Amino acid sequence: MKYFPIFIDAEHIHCLVVGAGEVAARKCELLLKTPAKITVVAPWVSNAVRELAKSEQLTLIEREFDANDLDQKQMVFVATDNEALNQSIHDQAHAKGILVNVVDNTPLCKFITPSIVDRSPIIIAMSSGGVAPVLLRYIRQKLESVIPHNIKRLGEFSEKYRDKVKQALGSVTDRRYFWEDVLDGDIGENVLQNNTSLASEQLQNSLNAYASGNKPAGQVYLVGAGPGDPDLLTFRALRLMQKADVVVYDRLVSNDILELVRRDAEKIYVGKARSNHTVPQEEINDLLAKLAKEGNRVVRLKGGDPFIFGRGGEEIETLVEQGIDFQVVPGITAATGASSYAGIPLTHRDHAQSVTFTTGHLKNDTIDLDWPSLVKPNHTLVFYMGLTGLPIICDKLIKHGMRSDMPIALVEGATRSEQKVVTGTLDTISDLEATKALKPPTLIIVGSVVNLHKQLNWFNK
């Protein structure tokens, strides 16, 4: 991060703008939204700047720049088309320790102005470090479209009661819980709808309850993190990840997804690799209960979907037994993620009218499944955790009547940039060199739908 993002109190800032063209006008318009004092120096003045100079906040001086113009200034924008002059003003300002920005010349900027979404008092500022302004504009347009304009009401409401809440609740954690409940619940909704009187009454009642120790108990959220691509997270999953005090996560949760967890949340790894359970399942169940009883908001972040080979059912059984509230947030399971990103539809009118999800996990060097029921026409099979047992899976399917040239696909790292897809047939796949190089997590898809991979593959051709 080359540029450190900060917000500067403009109450006592005196800013110099050198130049008075259209670019300078845009900077002045932005500065005029703050209480900063502004001086513009230029021998020629555009109509836009002359109009802005009608504000008592802005002083216009129509002459060439003079070194004395830097006196008593804390910030400088340079917006001229004279490169030598721009360089000279930059050097002088830098020597005096003044923040200087030479517009459209990143190497001569000691600070840069971000792209802004203004919902004052809520302000969102973004920067690309000057390297991708068009992309930044695109992101800002997206944010403008999804952030309601009246979100500023929540900002004003929070400002109004901030000191009162701080006096009533001494703990930073208690205050955070309180405000999250306010903003996420009925109070926040009433504020957005401009029902401020009702919202104020509700806030006071809620604050009294918190202050007397009747704050909400801890809760556990079982959240499906999907197969790996963070873009496949649900909105609800992301929101809960941002609220969590503690995140308990497994091996299949990608680093890109963990980056989206709230920065100050405690992260506890309980992943399981093949033949190596870092934390036994029973201990995970008890850990979730313990953390919730301590008053934490706990997110149990699981790769794929919590209820599809995620042992989520076992975990919430423990929570029910111990009287702990919980919610379940489904995620895109590995089967749908892998098949979609590999261009292999799990069902297709010409190939398969049904699909079975099963586990290929080895136990005592064998896989105990109802093999005859898995071998049927117009059907797709998906095996989770089956890479180690691949030779057994192929052998069992052939022995129970599936033709040996049935197409099969192995998908490693589904939906991620490093995704690999290896295809073959039941009698050849285990011997392929590409197969031997694969590592878990790898999903197995068996059926004639695999033949569509070459035609429909779109992700990493």
Residues carrying an active site annotation: 250, 272
Q: How far apart are CA 386 and CA 366, in angstroms?
A: 11
Strands 442-446, 379-384: pairing kind: antiparallel
Structure tokens belonging to residue 126: 């973004």
- Render 211-280 in DSSP notation, one character per residue: HTT-PPPPEEEEEE-BSS-GGGS-HHHHHHHHH-SEEEE-TTS-HHHHTTS-TTSEEEE--EETTEESS-
Structure tokens belonging to residue 240: 């809960």
Per-residue exposure over 252-265, b if at least 16 CB sit within 10 Å of its own CB, e if not: bbbeebbeebbeeb
Q: Is residue 187 classed exposed, middle or buried when 0-12, 13-18 and 19+ CB atoms within 10 A define those classes?
A: buried
Of 104, 73, 69, 67, nearest in space to 88 by CA: 67
8 A C-beta contact, residue 301 and residue 351:
no
Q: Which are the contacts of 251, defined by CB distance < 8 A and separation ≥ 6? A: 269, 271, 272, 273, 303
Q: What are phi and psi of 133, to 5 degrees?
A: -65, -35
Q: Which are the contacts of 231, defined by CB distance < 8 A and separation ≥ 6? A: none
Q: What are phi and psi of 339, to 5 degrees?
A: -65, -40
The CA-based dihedral angle spanning residues 124, 125, 131, 133, taken in that order and rounded to the nearest 10 degrees: 60
Of 126, 87, 132, nearest in space to 105 by CA: 87
Q: How far apart are CA 48 and CA 26, in angstroms?
A: 9
Residue 129's region, left for phi above 0, alpha for psi from -120 to 50, else beta, is left
Instruction: Specify which residues 38 forms β-bridges with.
Output: 15, 58
